[in-house]
Amino acid sequence: MSSIFDALPGQDTPVGAISKNLARLWATDERAIARPGEDSKATQVNFVLHLGLHTTPSDALAQFQTAVRFSRRYPCRVVVLCPARDEAATTSELRAKIYGECHPGKTRGDLRCCEFVILNYPTAARVFLENQVSVCLSTDLPLYYWAHNFSSSAKLGAYQYLLTKAKRILIDRSLVPADDCGEVCWPRPEAVRDLVHARLLPVRQTIGQFLSAHAPAALADGLTGVVVRHGASRRAEASVLAEWSRARLVACGGPADLAASIEISPSAGVDSVELIFNYANVQSFRFQGDFARGGAHLSAHVRGSATELATTIGLLSPEAALAEAMFF
């Protein structure tokens, strides 16, 4: 099986010649020549995509393409880190590729270009990795770090340079194994963002807008708990919705020790999520959504007012979720 490094596009280059060969790449690229000057390669952020050992070659290519689509809207210098499995590693040296792409901008004649540096490293070379990453990044620009599909969350603790320097650290809770008990001692917990939470933005907005017809105090009146039931594929989404709902209801005046539970629903579709507010009185709220169907139904009975809504739902695209997690 090919390595994740081999699965990604780009020109092989000596690690010590990355900057020189990037300049040469643009000098010989007709698309870049169509809009000469450094303006077409202006970057806004540094973006490190770190592929974990659980990443397959096809998954690596999919995440690479997500980063490419993201860079089309937010020009950036992207560094992709590819760990080599020890059994496949024949040297302790880093390997590198460079990749460039240009695309039309927002105005006629505008051209936007992005640069990728792809680094492959065996375990023996990990001590040199962070120094090489710092050389590849653009100076004076914020750093964003996306850790994708690590075999254990505890393994992230070995990359303190990236965890400390990054303005935002992006993880995906849906990829964390259910039995993974590893805990990361985040240097800056406030910088960590969950891509599951970001992808759920349209769902959170739909629920929030539906409930906004009622006063916060009314929603908290008699509230005893939150229950989220989910299909087999939506454990992470259920967990995020439970945490978010509990926090928002406490902010509305609900009890500080409000219970929030998560249950799997064997009879429901694998992509379904159901959110229920439990009350000690006659009030009620229920959200039932299915991401496979793209539909949802909301119903509420609050202080004598009954409302229902059938609507479409969906998740943010991977590149839009990146932007949501990074900048908002």
285 domain-assigned: yes
Is residue 37 domain-shared with residue 172, that is, in the same domain?
yes
In the chain, the amino acid numbered 166 is A
Is residue 174 domain-shared with residue 309, that is, in the same domain?
no
Are residues 136 and 159 in contact, defined by beta-carbon separation less than 8 angstroms? no
Are residues 301 and 277 in contact, defined by beta-carbon separation less than 8 angstroms? no
123 domain-assigned: yes
Does the pLDDT at position 29 exceed 60? no
Q: Most confidently modeled of 16-30, 71-85, 239-253?
A: 239-253
Token pair for 53: 């050992």
Distance separating alpha carbons of residues 39 and 72, to the nearest angstrom: 14
148 domain-assigned: yes
User: Average pLDDT of the chain?
Assistant: 90
55 domain-assigned: yes
| E-state strands within the chain | 11-13, 45-51, 76-83, 95-104, 111-121, 143-148, 168-171, 192-194, 223-230, 259-264, 272-279, 284-290, 295-302, 305-312
Distance separating alpha carbons of residues 221 and 219, to the nearest angstrom: 6
Return the bridge partners of 45, or none.
76
pLDDT of residue 183: 64
Distance separating alpha carbons of residues 55 and 82, to the nearest angstrom: 9
Domain count, the chain: 2
Q: Write down which residue in 187, 209, 230 finishes a domain.
A: 187
Is residue 40 domain-shared with residue 175, that is, in the same domain?
yes
Radius of gyration of the chain (CA): 23
pLDDT of residue 87: 57
Is residue 178 domain-shared with residue 208, that is, in the same domain?
no
Is residue 230 domain-shared with residue 172, that is, in the same domain?
no
Distance separating alpha carbons of residues 49 and 61, to the nearest angstrom: 12
Token pair for 291: 């991401």
Q: Is 251 helix (H, G, I), strand (E, B) or coil?
A: helix
Distance separating alpha carbons of residues 241 and 262, to the nearest angstrom: 10
Are residues 233 and 266 in contact, defined by beta-carbon separation less than 8 angstroms? no
Is residue 160 domain-shared with residue 207, that is, in the same domain?
no
Token pair for 100: 């460039």
Is residue 203 domain-shared with residue 54, that is, in the same domain?
no
328 domain-assigned: no
Distance separating alpha carbons of residues 43 and 324, to the nearest angstrom: 18
Which residues span the domain enclosing 264? Answer: 199-316
298 domain-assigned: yes
Q: What does pTM read for this prediction? A: 0.92
pLDDT of residue 1: 46
pLDDT digits (tens, 9 = 90+) for 80-134: 999 997 655 556 789 999 998 887 777 766 777 789 999 999 988 888 898 999 9
Give the CATH number for residue 262.
3.30.360
pLDDT digits (tens, 9 = 90+) for 302-327: 999 999 999 999 999 999 999 999 99
pLDDT of residue 182: 55
258 domain-assigned: yes
Distance separating alpha carbons of residues 277 and 226, to the nearest angstrom: 5
| E-state strands within 122-204 | 143-148, 168-171, 192-194
DSSP state of 271: T
Helix ranges (H only) for 160-200 are: 160-165, 195-199
Is residue 16 domain-shared with residue 78, that is, in the same domain?
yes
Is residue 174 domain-shared with residue 92, that is, in the same domain?
yes
Q: Is 115 helix (H, G, I), strand (E, B) or coil?
A: strand
Is residue 180 domain-shared with residue 92, that is, in the same domain?
yes
42 domain-assigned: yes
Q: Write down which residue in 187, 215, 244 finishes a domain.
A: 187
> pLDDT-derived band of residue 70, with 50, 70 and 90 as boundaries?
very high
pLDDT of residue 109: 65
Is residue 65 domain-shared with residue 170, that is, in the same domain?
yes
Q: Write down which residue in 187, 215, 233 finishes a domain.
A: 187
Is residue 174 domain-shared with residue 212, that is, in the same domain?
no
Q: What share of the chain is helix, strand, coil (3-state, %, to 5)?
A: 40, 30, 30
